[in-house]
Chains A and B, each alone.
Chain A
Amino acid sequence: MPSHALEKSLDRLRRGAWLQPVSALGAFVVIGALAAMVAFLLLQALPLAAPPTVRSSEQLALSDVRAAFATAQGSLLVEGSGRVSDWPDDGPAAIARCQLPLAPAEAWLSRRADTLWLSASDGTTLQVRLKDCRTQVLPALAPPWAATVVDNRLLRSRGDLDLVETKAGLLALRVAAGKLVLVQGARLDRLREVASVAFANVNRASFNAVGEHVLVDSGDAISLLRVVRAHSGEVSLLITRRFSADGARAEFVDENTVALTVAPASVTLVDAQSGGHIGKLNLTGTIGAIRIGSDQRWLVSTSMGLTRLTLAPLHGAATWRSLWLPVPRLDGAGSAWAWTPEGPSDGNARFALVPLLGTTLLLALLGLLVAVPVAFMLAAFAALNGASLRTPIKQAVELIEAIPSILIALCVLIYLAPLTNGEPFSAALLLSVALGIVLVPTVFSIADEALHAVPRSFAESALALGARPLQAFVAITLPAAASGLIGAVCLGFGRAISETMLLLLLASMLQVSALGWLPSPLPLGATLASELPEVPFGSTHFRVLFVAALLLLGMSLLINVFADRFRARFRRKLGQL
C-alpha cells in the first residue's frame, strides 16, 4: 500500500531521520568553504600564468601596408601606393581618405591625430593635414635619419637610428666606430653623447615608447638593452638579454613588452624589464611586421594581409621570473627585488613577492622572540603550581586572546610608543612587544596543554627519588612534552604570519618603511588588506595580490598541518609510555 509506505517514511522523518542528511549539509559547507577558498584564490591568480591569447581577430586584404596607427575611431593605414585610409573599429573594409604622390617608407602621426608625416626612402618628407589632405613638402635628409613627434611637430635628426622624447629630454641612438651611442639633449642641435656600448654591427635599433629600453638588431642576434639612470645623473646602457636567432625580428608592442618573431608564424612575448618569458602567440600566415599596440590591440601584417588582433590582458610586468628573481635596479647598481605596485618614478610597476615574504617571516620571528619565552615561562609556572594557579592563569590568557589585535596595537601605539625615540631599534621593539602580546595566548594554550598531558606520575617518581620540583620538571616533564612544545611554537608562527591589522597599524604609524630594516613596508597579510580594496579588478596588481594570498594560505595551512603532526606524535608517544 503506497499510503502505508508514505506514513511509514513520514513517521521516520518525524522520529528524526532528517537530521543526518541536513547535518551532512552543514559538514559539506565546512569542507566546501575551504575548497572554494583555494579554488577562487587560484582562479584569480591563474590568469597571470595564462599564455597570451587572441580574443578576436579581423582580416583586411591589404598586402602593402607600410604603417598603421590606432585612432579613437579605429585604425589609420598607410599603403605603399601612397593611399591613406581609415579602417573603422566595426567596419569590414578600409575607407580611402587621401591619395598622396609618394611611395612612403615610414610614417608618423601627431598626438592629436590630425597631421601625418610620410617619408620616402630617398629622404623626402611630406606633411599631410588629414582633415583635407593638404600636403606640404619638408626638406629632404640623407639617410640614416630618425624622427619623433613632439607637441604635434615632427622632429627629425640626421645620422640617428631612432629618436624618442623622454622626461629627461630627447634621446637618440647613433652608430659610430663599432659602438652604439646614446645621445641626449634638450634640443635637437644640443644632443651629446651620454653612453655607449660596443656592437660590431647594428642593422636596426629602436626605443620603447618612454625611451627606457632599447632593442638592437645586429644581424646574428637581437639584444635587449636598458637605459640606466644612476642617482648621480649618470646614464649608461646595460644589456639585459640577448636572443641569438637568425632572421628574427623584434619590436616593442607596449612600454614593457617585446614581441620576438622567430618562426614564420609565431610571436614570443618577453618582459622588457626582467627579460622574463611571457608567452607565445601563434598566428596564421607569415608575419611581416607588428605595427602598433594600443592597449591590447595589435595590427599585424602577414602574408595574407593585415590582421587586427585584440588580445586578452597581458600581465607582462609579472612573469614567473619577476615574481621571484631579482630584476636589474633602475639606477644600475646590481639587481634587487622590489614591491612597488604603483611603479617607481618611471611608471613601471614591479611585483616581487620575495620582499613581502621576507618581511612576513622577519616580523613573525620578532614576535616569537618575545612570545615564546613568555608563554613557556607562564606554562611552566602553571604546570609547577597546580590547578589553583593554572586555572586563573589559563582564564586570564584566554581573555587576552579574545582582545582584538588592533586594540593591542593601539594601546602600544598610544602608551608605549611615546616612551621611545623613533629609532629603528625601538620600532622593532614596539612591534615585537605588540605582536608578542597577541601570540602569547596561542603559544601558551598549546604548551600548557602539552605540559598538562604529561602524567603526573612521571614527575612524582622523580620527586620520590629525591629530585627538587624544578629539577624534575626540567629533566622529566619538559623532554616528555618536547614535541608538543614544538607544535606550540609552530602554531604561534602560523598565528604570527596571519596577523594583519596589528602590523598594518603599527608599521604605518611607526613608519618602519623609512627605517630601512625591512625588505618591504608591509608583510603579506597587511599588504593584502591595504592594497586589495583599491586595485581595479583584473589588473596585474590584482592578480599578483592573489598570488600573495595563495602564498599566505599555503603557508598557514602547511604550518597548521605540521603543528598537528607534532601534536599527534606527542599524543602517540605519551600513549606508548
Chain B
Amino acid sequence: MSRSILSRWLLGFGFFLLPVAALLLLILLDALQVRMPARLLEVGPPQAREWVMPQSAFWRFGWGAQVFVQRGQADGVGAEFRWVERGELESASAPEALVRVRRFDASALFGIPVEVCDGAGCTAWRNQPLTADARLRLELADGRQMVLSGTDIAALDTLNRDGTFKRLGHWLRALAGVVIDAPRNANTEGGMGPALVGTSMLVLLMSAIVSPLGVFAAIYLYMNQDRGGFARLARAAISNLAAVPSVLYGAFVMVAFVYGLGGFIDQTFFAHRLPSPTFGTGGLLWAACAMALLTLPIVVTVTLEGLERVPQGLIEASLALGATREETLIRLVLPLARGAFLTGLILAISRAAGEVAPLMLVGVVKSAPQLPLSPDYPYIHLEQKFMHLGHQLYDLAVHAPSFEAALPMLKVCAALLLVIVLSLNLIAFALRARLIRGMENMLP
C-alpha cells in the first residue's frame, strides 16, 4: 500500500470511525478482563488494615495515580468501593489465607475462614466444599467474625492460593456464567441467562409475526410497482413508519393491544382470574407485537430491494415459457430473493435485541420470577413478563444501588449485546453481498 493511500485511509477513518471503533473495542476488552479476579491485597497499617481487590487484574499495567478497588466488608460498613494510591497497592501484601466469599443476595466479602460447623460439629477450614447446612465462620479485616450460612454462599474463591491455571479456570467459568447464570445481588452479579432467554423468545415471536407480514407487503409493492393509489399509500406508510420514534410503538401497543385487545381477551377467556389481569398487562406477546411493527419497515424495504434485484431477463424468460405472473413470482423471484428476506429478518432481529424504549411500556421487567419458556404446560408463556438484554443494561445503569457496583456487570452485559448485534449485522452484510454477487453472475 502506497503512503498516500495509507494517509487517506487514516484521514477518512481517523476522525470518526476509528474513535468510535476504539470506544467499542475498549468495552469488549474491558468486559473480557473485568471478570478475571485479581489477588486480594492487604493495605493500611495493621491496626486499621483493609482487604481490598483491585477492580482489574491488570491494574499494574494501568495508568493514573489511583486504583479503584472493592472492599469486601460487612454490610453497612462504609462504601463498597474506593480509590487507593497506586504506590500503597504496589507495596501491599497478599495473605495466602484470604478468600473471597461471593453471596447470593449481597455483595462479596473478603476474609479468612476460621472454621466450618455442621450437624457433626466444628472443624477448621481446609478448603473443603461447603454443604447447604454448613455454617462458615469468617474473620473480616476489622477483626470481627461473621457466621455465614451455606445457603447464602454462592462461591468461595481462594484467589491468593490459586496458581495461574486455576485462576484462568475461574475466569473461564465466570465468562461462561455470563450467558448461563441467573443474576444475583440486585442484578449486579451473576449472569444474563434469563435476559438472554427473554430476548431470544421475544425475537423468535417477533420474527414469526413480522415475516409473513413483511414478505407479503413487499410482494404487493413489487407486483404493483407503479400503479394504484393503494400501493403508493403503502409505500408512503412504510417510509413514515420507519420515521416514527420507537417509543411511540410502545405507547400504541400499550393502549391498542394491552389495554384494548388484552382487556377483551381477559374478559372473554380469563374472567375467573380478574381483577388480576392475564393478557391485560404487558407481556411477551405484546412486546413481540410492538417489535414486529417496529421492524416491519426494515423487513419490507430489504425484501423489496432483493425482489427488485432479480434480473428482468429471467422473469421475461419465465413469462415467455407460459408461466403466469404469480407463478413466476412464486417459483422464480421469491426463491432468488430468499437471501434478501433473510437479511431483512436478521437486521430486524439485531434491532429488536437492542431496542429498549417500547419494551418499557409493554412488559419488560428488571427481574422476572419465571422464564417465559418452561417445562410446564403450555411451555411458552405468552402473557408473562420477561427480561431483556437492552433493558437490563438501562436498568443496571440507572437503578443499581451504586453505579460502581454495577460497573463490571454493565460492561459484561454491554459487550454481550455488542457481540450479538455486531455478529448479526456482519452475517447480514455477508448474505447481502453474496446475494448481489449471485444476481450479477446470473446475467450473461
Contact = CB atoms under 8 A, between A and B. Distances in A.
Contacts of B300: 30
Interface in A324-372: none
Nearest to B411: A414
Contacts of B353: 404
B217 to A, nearest CB: 4
A406 B239 contact: no
Interface stretch (A133-141, A201-209, A377-385): A377-385
B165 interface: no
Given A26-B219, A546-B251, A553-B245, A406 B393 contact: yes
A34 B237 contact: yes
A227 B62 CA distance: 60
Interface residues of B, number: 87
B357 A378 contact: no
A27 B255 contact: no
B245 A497 contact: yes
B251 A23 contact: no
Contacts of B326: 15-20
Nearest to A538: B259
B394 A505 contact: yes
Contact of B26 (A26, A415, A498, A528): A415
A374 B13 contact: no
Interface stretch (B4-12, B53-61, B98-106): B4-12
Given A16-B327, A31-B234, A400-B17, A37 B248 contact: yes
Contact of B233 (A16, A31, A415): A31
A23 B244 contact: no
A440 B403 contact: no
A457 interface: no
B176 interface: no
A400 B22 CA distance: 12
B80 to A, nearest CB: 18
- Among the interface residues A19, A30, A377, A504, which one has the most CB atoms of the partner chain B within 10 A? A30
B250 interface: yes
B13 A411 contact: no
A283 interface: no
A406 B245 contact: no
B280 to A, nearest CB: 10
A547 B376 CA distance: 42
A16 B247 CA distance: 39
A413 B397 contact: yes
A121 to B, nearest CB: 50
A500 B252 CA distance: 16
Nearest to B9: A389
Contact of B245 (A20, A399, A525): A525
A504 B394 contact: yes
Nearest to B328: A16
Contact of B217 (A18, A29, A40, A557): A29
Nearest to B212: A26
B379 to A, nearest CB: 28
B330 interface: yes
A15 B327 contact: yes
Main secondary structure of the interface of A (DSSP, over half): helix
Interface in A431-461: 437, 440
Contact of A26 (B16, B220, B251, B356): B220
Interface in B205-223: 212-221, 223
Contacts of B9: 389
B398 A19 contact: no
Interface residues of A, number: 81
A508 B399 CA distance: 10
Interface stretch (B113-121, B144-152, B417-425): B417-425
A142 interface: no
A44 B421 contact: no
Contacts, number: 243
B421 A410 contact: no
A516 interface: no
A375 B212 CA distance: 36
Interface stretch (A229-237, A390-398, A569-577): A390-398
Given A41-B251, A400-B20, A553-B248, A30 B418 contact: no
Contacts of B20: 400, 437
Nearest to B389: A404
A530 to B, nearest CB: 8
A17 B223 CA distance: 12
A27 B217 contact: yes
Given A36-B256, A437-B20, A377 B330 contact: no
Contacts of A320: none
A43 B247 contact: no
Nearest to B330: A16
A19 B223 contact: yes
A412 B230 CA distance: 45
Contact of A403 (B212, B354, B360): B354
Contact of A529 (B234, B237, B250, B393): B250
A378 B330 contact: no
A189 B320 CA distance: 105
A381 B13 CA distance: 10
Interface string B344-356: 0001001101111
Contacts of B158: none
A559 interface: yes
A556 to B, nearest CB: 5
A157 interface: no
Given A399-B422, A549-B248, A33 B293 contact: yes
Given A20-B326, A30-B237, A525-B247, A404 B23 contact: no
B368 interface: no
A234 B199 CA distance: 56
A402 B350 contact: yes
Given A26-B215, A27-B234, A407-B417, A414 B410 contact: yes
Interface string B282-323: 000000000001001000100000000000000000000000
Contacts of A41: 248, 251-252, 255
B26 A374 contact: no
Contacts of B251: 41, 528, 532, 545-546, 549
Given A505-B397, A549-B248, A402 B8 contact: no
B254 A30 contact: no
B187 interface: no
A509 interface: yes
B291 to A, nearest CB: 13
Given A20-B223, A27-B234, A415 B425 contact: no
A552 interface: yes
A117 to B, nearest CB: 40
30 contacts: A15-B324, A16-B327, A18-B326, A19-B219, A23-B217, A26-B219, A27-B234, A29-B213, A29-B217, A30-B213, A30-B237, A40-B252, A41-B251, A374-B15, A393-B12, A396-B21, A397-B17, A400-B17, A406-B393, A407-B393, A413-B397, A497-B245, A501-B356, A509-B398, A528-B248, A529-B361, A532-B251, A532-B254, A549-B248, A560-B239
User: Nearest 9 CB-CB pairs, A to B?
Assistant: A404-B354, A16-B326, A26-B216, A498-B245, A26-B217, A560-B243, A23-B220, A500-B357, A27-B234
